[in-house]
Structure 1
Amino acid sequence: MRRQLGIFLVFCWLLLPACQKQVETLHLDGATMGTTWSVKLHSLPDGVDPVQLKSQLQSQLDSINRLMSTYDPESEISRFNRQTSGDWFAISTETAEVISLSLHLSQLTAGAFDISVGPLVELWGFGASERGEQLPTNEQVAEQLAKVGYQHLQLRRAPAALRKTQPLLRIDLSAVAKGYAVDLLAESLVERGVDNYLVEVGGELRIAGQRSDGTAWKIALEKPLEEAREVKTIFPLTDTGLATSGNYRNFYIENGQRYSHTIDPVSGRPIRHRLASVTVLDPACARADALATALMVLGEEKGQILVEQQQIAAYFLIHEQQGTEVYVSPAFQKFLAEVN
Structure 2
Amino acid sequence: MRTKRSEWPHPDPIALPLIRQVVSGPTMGTRYSAVFYAPATSDLPGLRHGLQAAVDAVDAQMSTWKPDSDLMRLNRAPTKAWFAVPSQLGRVLAAAIDIGRQSDGAFDIGVGDLVSAWGFGSAGSQGDQPRCAALRAEPRVPAHRCLELDGALDRVRKHAEITLDLSGIAKGFGVDELARVLVAHGIDHFLVSIDGELRASGGKPDGSPWRVAVEKPIVGHRAAQGVIELTNGAVATSGDYRHFVDSDGIRYGHTMDPCSQAPLADGPAAVTVLAETCMAADAWATALLVLGPAAGGATASRQGLEALFIERPHILPSHPTKDPISKEDRP
Normalised to the residue count of structure 2, the TM-score between the two structures is 0.83
Cα deviation for residue 255 of structure 1 reads 6.7
Report the Cα distance in structure 2 between the residues aligned to 1:321 and 1:28, rounded to whole angstroms.
Answer: 39
Cα deviation for residue 127 of structure 1 reads 2.2
Give the number of the structure whose alpha-carbon radius of gyration is greater.
2
Report the Cα distance in structure 2 between the residues aligned to 1:78 and 1:256, rounded to whole angstroms.
Answer: 32
Report the Cα distance in structure 2 between the residues aligned to 1:43 and 1:242, rounded to whole angstroms.
Answer: 23
Q: Which residue of 1 aligns with 2:28?
A: 33
Matched-pair identity in %: 38
Cα deviation for residue 222 of structure 1 reads 0.8
Tell me how large the CA RMSD over aligned residues is: 2.4
Q: In the superposition, relative to structure 1, how do residues 270 and 222 fare at CA in structure 2: closer, same or farther (>3 Å)?
A: same
Aligned to 2:255, which of 250, 257, 262?
Answer: 262
Once the two structures are superposed, the pairs formed by residues 189-228 of structure 1 within 5 Å of their partners are 189-228=182-221
Normalised to the residue count of structure 1, the TM-score between the two structures is 0.81
Q: In the superposition, relative to structure 1, how do residues 125 and 135 fare at CA in structure 2: closer, same or farther (>3 Å)?
A: farther
Query: Greater shift after overlay, 88-97 or 131-140?
Result: 131-140
Aligned to 1:299, which of 273, 287, 292?
Answer: 292
Q: In the superposition, relative to structure 1, how do residues 319 and 186 fare at CA in structure 2: closer, same or farther (>3 Å)?
A: same
Report the Cα distance in structure 2 between the residues aligned to 1:135 and 1:230, rounded to whole angstroms.
Answer: 38
Cα deviation for residue 104 of structure 1 reads 0.3
Aligned to 2:119, which of 122, 125, 131?
Answer: 125
Q: Which runs of 5+ in 1 are unaligned?
A: 1-22, 324-340
Deviations 1:93-147 (A, max 9, x none): 111111110000000101111111111122223223342475766444123x537
Report the Cα distance in structure 2 between the residues aligned to 1:142 and 1:156, rounded to whole angstroms.
Answer: 32
Q: Which residue of 1 aligns with 2:90?
A: 96
Q: 1:51 aligns to what SS in structure 2?
A: helix
Query: Greater shift after overlay, 169-178 or 287-296?
Result: 169-178
Whether contact under 8 Å (1:25, 1:212) holds in the other structure is no
Q: 1:74 aligns to what SS in structure 2?
A: coil
Report the Cα distance in structure 2 between the residues aligned to 1:101 and 1:132, rounded to whole angstroms.
Answer: 30
Whether contact under 8 Å (2:175, 2:197) holds in the other structure is yes
Q: In the superposition, relative to structure 1, how do residues 29 and 254 fare at CA in structure 2: closer, same or farther (>3 Å)?
A: closer
> What amino acid sits opposite 1:173 in the alignment?
L
Whether contact under 8 Å (1:67, 1:75) holds in the other structure is yes
Q: In the superposition, relative to structure 1, how do residues 24 and 189 fare at CA in structure 2: closer, same or farther (>3 Å)?
A: closer
Q: Which residue of 2 aligns with 1:141?
A: 136
Q: Which residue of 2 aligns with 1:328?
A: none
Report the Cα distance in structure 1 between the residues aligned to 2:104 and 2:47, rounded to whole angstroms.
Answer: 41
Cα deviation for residue 320 of structure 1 reads 5.5
Q: In the superposition, relative to structure 1, how do residues 221 and 137 fare at CA in structure 2: closer, same or farther (>3 Å)?
A: closer
Report the Cα distance in structure 2 between the residues aligned to 1:64 and 1:213, rounded to whole angstroms.
Answer: 33
Report the Cα distance in structure 1 between the residues aligned to 2:249 and 2:29, rounded to whole angstroms.
Answer: 32
Q: 1:42 aligns to what SS in structure 2?
A: strand
Q: Indicate yes or no: 2:172 matched with 1:179.
A: yes
Q: In the superposition, relative to structure 1, how do residues 214 and 293 fare at CA in structure 2: closer, same or farther (>3 Å)?
A: same
Aligned to 2:223, which of 211, 227, 230?
Answer: 230
Report the Cα distance in structure 1 between the residues aligned to 2:298 and 2:81, rounded to whole angstroms.
Answer: 39
Report the Cα distance in structure 2 between the residues aligned to 1:236 and 1:224, rounded to whole angstroms.
Answer: 20
Q: 2:162 aligns to what SS in structure 1?
A: coil
Once the two structures are superposed, the pairs formed by residues 39-118 of structure 1 within 5 Å of their partners are 39-44=34-39, 46=41, 48-118=42-112
Deviations 1:76-96 (A, max 9, x none): 111111112311111111111
Q: Which runs of 5+ in 2 are unaligned?
A: 1-17, 317-331
